[in-house]
Structure 1
Amino acid sequence: MTSIAGSLGLISGGAAGEIPPKAARLVEIAHSNAARLVRLINDILDIEKIEAGRMQFDLRPLALAPLLEAAQHQTAGFAGEYGVKVDIEPVGAGFAVLADEDRLMQVITNLLSNAIKFSRRGEVVTIRVTPLDRRYRISVIDRGEGIPEAFRSRIFGKFAQADASDSRQKGGTGLGLSIVREIVVRLGGSVDFESVEGAGSIFHVDLPAAELPGISPTPSEVETQMPRDPTLPIVLHVDDDPDMLAVVSSAFDGKATIHSTPSVAEARAAIRRTRYDAAILDVGMLDGCGTDLVAPLRKRAPSLPVVLFTAQEVDGAPKDGIDLVLVKSRASLDTLVREVTDRIGSDRVNGGGGK
């Protein structure tokens, strides 16, 4: 299909020589519909990959300024077709998030494409970054017609269109915002919007903040620098991926104090010092397996909730002292936070728990 769309584009551009005006119009229609079908197929494949847990995410600290500039450059030609300009408000040099570069680029370009399509000719689409508490908010602002009230509850649904004619007039597939939401959730973030009919819309993407390489504190330094709220439960997180340690710690912000370590040996020492309310373990570390920690954890607190959070495809049935198995590619951080905090609450009601 991609080759068909490309060939029609060449013919429409005159690569095969001049063609009669009526035929040229038919070729242009065919090219437009073929290109839309290619986008639809690609979007459907992306949705299927995400829902099946087959879309890979390579989480790492990303500087926002160059990424947003690249997104602006990628959509410049599209914006030009609509007579719309894309502006980026100044972004701090140290503003960085923990995300997958390709997937975050997909999110931003999807939001920019939508904003451009629904903007009036001559208008400006603005990208703004706002620092929040251990997060950064990326906002894409348009000054178009806004989103009808009746459509807002369905806006992130599959094949959602505010108007039946939108797909023809604007060329959308109705899957773009659904893909945006699915990707952002799996990056440990959230997406929301605000809109005023007749005045425009703002889409917000909130993602965990990250330190750029060279200035990132080690997990042990994080523990000593962050004052602990004594009302919060304490959760041990063992994972040999420093980026995953950072993003999980950010996800639990305000809900639990996370003690992070990439080492089974360090975790054993921490268990001797601290009585934990829950533990999140990965499977394969350089110095052992996270499941080796179940026995010492249970010795300190027999009913302590233990969640296996791993990239490996393992049997999801709880076993060997594990209360729950979550596979990283299929379980969002929201799910991890909910499952752990719910289990801590149940354990405390039943008289277990740490401290």
Structure 2
Amino acid sequence: MTGAFDFTGARAADRGRPRILLVALLVTVTLGIVVVGFLLVSQARQAVDLRNEVEQSYARRLQLQRILSLHQDIETASRGYVLTQQEDFLEPYRIAEPAIDAELSKLDRLEQNGNAGEQLRHLRQHSVEKRNFVRETITLATSGRATEAVGRVRSGDGKRAMDALRSEIAELQLSEESRLDRLSARSGAARNRLEMTALAILGALLVLLTGAAVAIASATKSRSQALDAVADLSRRRKAILDAAMDGIIILNPSGSIESVNQTVARMFGYAEEELLRRDVGMLFATPTPVGQVAMQLRQMNLQDGEPGSLQEIPGRCKDGTPLLADVAISAVSLADGMHYVAVVRDMSERKKIERMKAEFVASVSHELRTPLTSIAGSLGLLAGGAGGALPDRAGRLIEIAHNNSERLVRLINDILDIEKLDAGKMVFNNARNDLGEIAAQAIVANRSYGERYGVTLRLTQPDRPTPIWVDADRLMQVLANLISNAAKFSPRNGTVEVRVEAGRNAHTVSVIDSGSGIAPEFLGRMFQRFAQADSSDARQKEGTGLGLAIVREIVQRLGGKVTVDSTPGKGSNFTVVLPALRDHDHGIAPCVLLCEHDPIVAHALAQMISDNGLTCRIAATAQDALATAAGADFSVILVDAELPGEGGIALVRQLRDGAAPATPILMISAETDGDALSAKVLQIEDWLRKPLSLDQVVQAVNRVINKLPSGKEGASRLPRVLHAEDDPDIVRLVEAAFEGKATLFAAPSVEMARATIARTELDLAILDLGLTDGSGLALLGDLAKAPNGPLPVIIFSAQDADPEVSEKVQAFFTKSHTPIDHLVRTVSRLAQASAAGEANT
């Protein structure tokens, strides 16, 4: 292995040498060219400097000549004037004399040679002497002393000053010429050296270029071979991409298609050429404006090398056929900007499989839950003595069968719940609930399960309300799972505590056991599917490993979280944290409008109502009440019949005609039942008689809000219940369960149920959704128009609750999720409420 590795490394080094040599040659040639260029630039700069010096020298000599010329002008002008006394001779003097200082200053600026400074001072001195002499002779001549002026001219002083000036200027010009000669000689020598250096460098470059040519030829050959390999690799990759089941689209920064594989072309029905350089928005179900996709891609802020984004995007084929696709988008940074790779997967087959899966789940839901309900219910009735006393051996066998049927029911329910959670089809009918009340119901519902394991269930809760916004049935499912786990893993004669704690922002419910606890290394996997700390113990305790995964999913979808804390040997504590519901949350907090003109009574009533967890607003007059009712939704309205003005009945009429057409109203009056006709017409829920205690008012309000019966006794006959069910085993099971508690009228079809409704005075109806000739929902209209008034309805079906259906009925129970005794209790409660309602009206 080592030898093979060394040989491979040697071959790699051999392939790398020409490349290194080529790079070295290119660098050397480049440096040589840079040096030659630098020398040429230097020579050019020297030439420019020399030219500038020549021009400067010429300018200085020209300036010296101008100064000399000006002095000659003043000399000639002064002599002509002195000899002729004619003013015309003074004109050149007047022009030249003031210009001399300016020209001398200009000469100073042009002079860059420091050695000429002394000469320039001498030049200025001679200029001053000459100009003073000329000025003196002219002054003498103009003052009438011409003879003296001529004598001064003939004295030779002016000539000597002029000669000194000429001599100084000549020396300056000679100095300029000498300096220029020296610069020219130095520049020539530098140019010769530069030429020799450039020739040497060019010779070296020629040699190097020859070597570079050889290296380039070798590199070109290697490059050609590499390009062939790249082309071969590109063909292979294209073949792989074209063979991929998923479509692959490369997008440039502007959102245009740069390349696609054949799968994309087949998927959307286009030729590859039709897609290239087109905006990718053309493939969307609703084509987007050009540039919009590019903007959206930039807003996604995708980074090269990081995970991309997966989206479900509706598309459209060339022939207009819709195409739903999963699109995974990732970014790749290229030389010309950020590009995007879109992997497109046709979802048609997956959706078809999901539909088949959903149909299978629905079929299993019905075909398994219905017989399981019959089996478990029948065995439960037998175990409870409904069929008479059983021999001990038969009783034990029945108990074994009943326990295992319930175990099978739980297994089926867990599997179906996991499937619904995965598919996002689990329905949550959230409403205002109290966590303490739900925990108390969970204790009652699971007490018999705890007794089976010799475990006592104990509830600890605060003395104040713990309102939450949840689906009560789903939360009951969570607590049932946690309590059953705690009971199974607790020692006999142990206690499982269900502890409810109230908080400001969240309420918690904890299920605490005293079992063997959970190993620390397993706590992190506690809520994973099929996770079991000890598989043998799990089998002994009848666990599937799905319960806690379902708990976590449901709690998360209720907006909460679930945690576990455990110490081996001391037990476990599972805690569910749920957001606390405040009065303003969801706009559903029970709020009472109190219309009472007496401020003392109003305040006392409002205080009592508030102490019971309700919100209360007071209106002292009918006008205030109407305005308040119009601006908010109230759960109950209390009206004092003796309101000032038109009275409470007139206010109720206005409320029914306007702001509160269906809000429950309680009337407070000194009369026993008030105006019975008005109460019936105006749908007044109750007529409270004065004087009355505050507790009576609060109880009446709570009855309306919680839809509780008023407590009056109904008729002595058993409740008459319509049971619309097509499965005879379920019919017999329900009949056995209701024996002595209600009279059942079974109807396997919609038609027979309608006939029963028409000829029988019923109190309640139990409906299965799947009947022999249609859905049980078709009977809701008939039940709402029953001869003795709208009837309460319970859905008892293998299908899960639908939100729209749940809103129209009093209860919705799923077969296999609902113990038969729970159905019996619900029917009894609704029947009593119905009877109480008839008595009240």
TM-score, normalised to structure 2's length? 0.24
One-letter amino acid of the structure 2 residue matched with residue 194 of structure 1: D
Q: Secondary structure at the match of 2:498?
A: strand
One-letter amino acid of the structure 1 residue matched with residue 557 of structure 2: R
Specify the alignment match of 1:126 in structure 2. 497
8 Å CA contact 1:65–1:93 kept in 2: the answer is no
8 Å CA contact 2:517–2:566 kept in 1: the answer is yes
Are residues 209 and 33 of structure 1, via their aligned partners in 2, closer, same or farther at CA, if it must alter by over 3 Å?
same
CA distance in 2: counterparts of 1:204 and 1:18, whole angstroms = 42
Q: Secondary structure at the match of 1:2?
A: helix
One-letter amino acid of the structure 1 residue matched with residue 470 of structure 2: A
Trace 1:177-216 onto structure 2 (pairs within 5 A): 177-211=548-582, 213-214=589-590
CA distance in 2: counterparts of 1:138 and 1:6, whole angstroms = 31
1:299-329 Cα offsets, whole Å, 9 max, x none, are xxxxxxxxxxxx9xxxxxxxxxxxxxxxxxx
Q: Which runs of 5+ in 1 are unaligned?
A: 217-241, 243-310, 312-355
8 Å CA contact 2:523–2:564 kept in 1: the answer is no
Q: Which structure would you say has the larger Rg?
A: 2
Are residues 94 and 149 of structure 1, via their aligned partners in 2, closer, same or farther at CA, if it must alter by over 3 Å?
same
1:284-311 Cα offsets, whole Å, 9 max, x none, are xxxxxxxxxxxxxxxxxxxxxxxxxxx9
1:109 Cα shift? Answer: 1.6
CA distance in 2: counterparts of 1:112 and 1:6, whole angstroms = 22
Specify the alignment match of 2:456 in structure 1. 85
Specify the alignment match of 2:512 in structure 1. 141
One-letter amino acid of the structure 1 residue matched with residue 590 of structure 2: G
Specify the alignment match of 2:442 in structure 1. 71
One-letter amino acid of the structure 1 residue matched with residue 520 of structure 2: E
Specify the alignment match of 2:318 in structure 1. none
8 Å CA contact 2:508–2:577 kept in 1: the answer is yes
1:52 Cα shift? Answer: 0.9
Trace 1:172-251 onto structure 2 (pairs within 5 A): 172-211=543-582, 213-214=589-590
Q: Secondary structure at the match of 2:535?
A: coil
Q: 2:417 aligns with which of 39, 42, 46?
A: 46
Q: Secondary structure at the match of 2:548?
A: helix
One-letter amino acid of the structure 2 residue matched with residue 179 of structure 1: I
CA distance in 2: counterparts of 1:64 and 1:202, whole angstroms = 18
8 Å CA contact 1:12–1:28 kept in 2: the answer is yes
Higher relative contact order (CA 8 A, sep 6+): 1
Specify the alignment match of 2:221 in structure 1. none
1:19 Cα shift? Answer: 6.7
8 Å CA contact 2:439–2:500 kept in 1: the answer is no
Q: 1:105 aligns with which of 447, 470, 476?
A: 476
Q: Which runs of 5+ in 2 are unaligned?
A: 1-371, 584-588, 593-632, 634-802, 804-841
CA distance in 1: counterparts of 2:487 and 2:392, whole angstroms = 32
1:192 Cα shift? Answer: 0.5
CA distance in 1: counterparts of 2:409 and 2:579, whole angstroms = 33
CA distance in 2: counterparts of 1:85 and 1:174, whole angstroms = 24
Identity of counterpart residues, as a percentage?
A: 49
8 Å CA contact 1:64–1:91 kept in 2: the answer is no
1:77 Cα shift? Answer: 1.1
Are residues 42 and 209 of structure 1, via their aligned partners in 2, closer, same or farther at CA, if it must alter by over 3 Å?
same
One-letter amino acid of the structure 1 residue matched with residue 521 of structure 2: A
8 Å CA contact 1:127–1:141 kept in 2: the answer is yes
8 Å CA contact 2:530–2:544 kept in 1: the answer is yes
CA distance in 2: counterparts of 1:135 and 1:71, whole angstroms = 20
1:9 Cα shift? Answer: 4.9
Are residues 85 and 182 of structure 1, via their aligned partners in 2, closer, same or farther at CA, if it must alter by over 3 Å?
same
1:49 Cα shift? Answer: 1.1
CA distance in 2: counterparts of 1:214 and 1:30, whole angstroms = 46
One-letter amino acid of the structure 2 residue matched with residue 198 of structure 1: G
Are residues 153 and 8 of structure 1, via their aligned partners in 2, closer, same or farther at CA, if it must alter by over 3 Å?
same
Q: Secondary structure at the match of 2:555?
A: helix
1:92 Cα shift? Answer: 3.5
Q: Secondary structure at the match of 1:165?
A: helix
Specify the alignment match of 1:158 in structure 2. 529
CA distance in 2: counterparts of 1:10 and 1:62, whole angstroms = 32
After alignment, is 48-57 or 5-14 more displaced? 5-14
1:257-283 Cα offsets, whole Å, 9 max, x none, are xxxxxxxxxxxxxxxxxxxxxxxxxxx
Q: Secondary structure at the match of 1:66?
A: helix
Higher helix share: 2
8 Å CA contact 1:65–1:92 kept in 2: the answer is no
8 Å CA contact 2:498–2:510 kept in 1: the answer is yes
1:60 Cα shift? Answer: 2.3
Specify the alignment match of 1:117 in structure 2. 488
One-letter amino acid of the structure 2 residue matched with residue 45 of structure 1: L
1:133 Cα shift? Answer: 5.1
Trace 1:251-330 onto structure 2 (pairs within 5 A): none
Specify the alignment match of 1:303 in structure 2. none
One-letter amino acid of the structure 2 residue matched with residue 44 of structure 1: I
8 Å CA contact 1:36–1:173 kept in 2: the answer is no
Are residues 11 and 88 of structure 1, via their aligned partners in 2, closer, same or farther at CA, if it must alter by over 3 Å?
closer
One-letter amino acid of the structure 1 residue matched with residue 510 of structure 2: S
Specify the alignment match of 1:321 in structure 2. none
CA-atom RMSD in angstroms: 2.8
8 Å CA contact 1:146–1:200 kept in 2: the answer is yes
8 Å CA contact 1:10–1:16 kept in 2: the answer is no
1:136 Cα shift? Answer: 1.3
1:147 Cα shift? Answer: 1.0
1:80-130 Cα offsets, whole Å, 9 max, x none, are 222222222232423212211111111112111111111112222112223
After alignment, is 144-153 or 192-201 more displaced? 144-153
1:35-80 Cα offsets, whole Å, 9 max, x none, are 2121100111111112211111122221122211111111111112
One-letter amino acid of the structure 2 residue matched with residue 94 of structure 1: P
1:162-208 Cα offsets, whole Å, 9 max, x none, are 22223432223321111110000001111101000000010111111
8 Å CA contact 1:136–1:207 kept in 2: the answer is yes
One-letter amino acid of the structure 2 residue matched with residue 214 of structure 1: P
8 Å CA contact 2:446–2:480 kept in 1: the answer is yes
CA distance in 1: counterparts of 2:545 and 2:573, whole angstroms = 18
